[in-house]
Amino acid sequence: NSIANPVFHGAFYVTHGVGRRWIAGGHRGTVISILVTWVWTGSPYVVPSAMSKAGLHVMTKSLAVEWGRYGIRLNAIAPGPFPTEGASKRLRPGASFEDATASIPLRRTGQMPELQNLATFLMADGCDFLTGETIAIDGGGYLATGGSFTDLDKLSDSDWQRVRELIKGQNDKDRAGRAT
């Protein structure tokens, strides 16, 4: 529930609420969801996230058809490794995204302006005929590897404990920062 509630339920309720308002008011609109490449491949060790994001992938396709006649477009972005503090400390605790670049055909991580440019393109008036799509922006990573966390099979029980502690520490730090 700590993953499914905000990721799946939250995104569904917000999208549905905004869509109903736009339809009632006769407004056109664009919804962009941030997904993951796991919607196509699945991924070990992130099952609640993969399931939640896969549900949003299907929502994007389904509502694109239902709401197209109202001028409402839905698309999604599936980013690969874009290093941010939160992502690095939760998805690669004790390591970095740079460690994974050997398996990415473009041999690097993404840069935020690239992600911003894709989102801008999807929102642009000149992109009015694109709907119901999830676009991967991952340097070809998921095409080359088919999954993101298969290397975690190599972790020992003590490694897993250390990873859990690192993630918990980052979550606690983030919570404390929000409380002030």
Q: What is the structure's pLDDT at 19?
A: 98
Residue 150 has pLDDT above 70, yes or no: no
Whether the CB-CB separation of 47 and 4 falls below 8 Å is answered with: no
Pure H helices in the chain = 4, 11-25, 38-41, 47-67, 85-91, 112-123, 141-145, 157-179
Q: Give the residue with greater pLDDT, 118 vs 170.
A: 118
Residue 34 has pLDDT above 80, yes or no: yes
Dihedral sign computed on CA atoms, order 24, 25, 26, 32:
negative
Answering whether pTM is above 0.85, one says no
pLDDT digits (tens, 9 = 90+) for 46-87: 889 899 999 999 999 999 999 999 999 999 999 988 887 766
Whether the CB-CB separation of 109 and 101 falls below 8 Å is answered with: yes
pLDDT digits (tens, 9 = 90+) for 89-123: 666 566 666 667 888 899 999 999 999 999 999 99
Phi, psi dihedral angles at 28 (to 5 degrees): -80, 160
pLDDT digits (tens, 9 = 90+) for 2-33: 888 999 999 999 999 999 999 999 999 999 99
| Planar angle of CA 79, 72, 41, nearest 5 degrees | 30
Q: What is the structure's pLDDT at 90?
A: 63
How many whole angstroms separate alpha carbon 84 and alpha carbon 101? 15
Q: What is the structure's pLDDT at 144?
A: 85
b or e along 52-67 (b: 16 or more beta carbons within 10 Å of the residue's beta carbon)?
Answer: bbbbbbebbbebbeeb
How many whole angstroms separate alpha carbon 75 and alpha carbon 123? 9
Residue 156 has pLDDT above 90, yes or no: no
Q: Of the given ranges (4-13, 89-98, 140-149, 158-167), which has the lowest mean pLDDT?
A: 89-98
Which positions ≥6 away from 167 have C-beta within 8 Å? 89, 90, 93
Which positions ≥6 away from 112 have C-beta within 8 Å? 82
